[in-house]
Structure 1
């Protein structure tokens, strides 16, 4: 797993077989990621490498993640549900997501046109941290497997990638993981599927 921010922008997160190769998703969005990084840095957040991806913090609290996906690159606000989203540009990574919200990008021109808006959202997220605000979570209507939830808590970027999958793909993985009788086996299945999930693929996708 990548532990250096600069390495992420040249080789990716290092958690799937595509890391360090021309096929890595970071190379699809090089210009977009670099511009977003510059905008984020101008907002005064601390840049760190966590879970293999650039993570930006305020007084040691995680505020947002910058990441590349197959079809877009994004800023993921970890407490995005607290933002007013006056422009209506935030989306849920998954149907059941409660806290995180994504701001998706596919073009440099799009980012340029939203530069002031992006900063406004970031400053609002920082203000939420200053006030100590927390997202009030509701009981998940479809309980997540305990072992999978543990992976989510230890790796927010993996959680974001999983929740970005279609509901059908999420359900497929949940059924596969849950079918194992022993916790150790369930954890092993999750570990083996992480690279596919990070690539946005379903259990049976090639």
Structure 2
């Protein structure tokens, strides 16, 4: 039997539109032996402390999203990748009516998701290649202190600076961004350190 996370209120913004439907999905998740919790303001079910499936309501649909859905057989063809550019593992099953819920099929998918967790399957994150924009590379070539400081930054911090500078559409904006970033690089700070 699933346990409900204590002391949490659900903050998922559209669950109120699908209360009965979400209750049905939650009951099926409980039947699969998953533990209910709240993460990122939404309902998430776990197995042995690992995220298995989330349940939530949106304006036009309610959904299950399987954290390792890429490994599911998906014989019924119900799963989609809701964000092809950024999502490698997550798969979503969308519903628009209570009658769309096939309890037995949902339970099969949930039990298969538990098997995937037991097998330890996971998608390894891809190593992102840092592409240094020509403008920044030119500045690094001309200023050895800047180059040394940049090379001492963690790869993700280097990538943040590169993407920030290269992301500007106009040349003058790229130049302005480079000028503003130089001090942070020399101080060994990441572009977004103040938000961490």
Structure 1 position 115 matched with structure 2 position 123: no
Structure 1 position 31 matched with structure 2 position 23: no
Q: CA deviation at 1:139?
A: 5.3
Partner of residue 62, structure 2 = 73
State the SS of the aligned residue for 2:46.
strand
Contact 1:5 1:53 in 2 (8 A): no
State the SS of the aligned residue for 1:7.
coil
Correspondence for 2:38 among 35, 49, 54: 49
State the SS of the aligned residue for 1:28.
helix
State the SS of the aligned residue for 1:85.
coil
Size of the aligned set, in residue pairs, is 139
State the superposition RMSD in angstroms: 2.9
Take 1:142 and 1:38, find their aligned partners in 2: how far apart are those partners? 45
Judging changes above 3 Å, is the alpha-carbon distance between structure 1 residues 5 and 77 closer, same or farther for their aligned structure 2 residues? farther
* TM-score, with length taken from structure 2: 0.61
Correspondence for 1:106 among 83, 96, 110: 96
Contact 2:14 2:56 in 1 (8 A): no
Take 1:66 and 1:142, find their aligned partners in 2: how far apart are those partners? 35
Take 1:142 and 1:105, find their aligned partners in 2: how far apart are those partners? 39
Judging changes above 3 Å, is the alpha-carbon distance between structure 1 residues 35 and 117 closer, same or farther for their aligned structure 2 residues? same
Structure 1's consecutive aligned runs of 4 or more residues displaced over 4 angstroms after TM superposition are: 3-6, 136-143
Gaps of 5+ in 1: 14-23, 148-174, 189-206
Q: CA deviation at 1:31?
A: 1.4
Gaps of 5+ in 2: 132-155, 158-166, 169-176, 182-190
Structure number with bigger Rg: 2
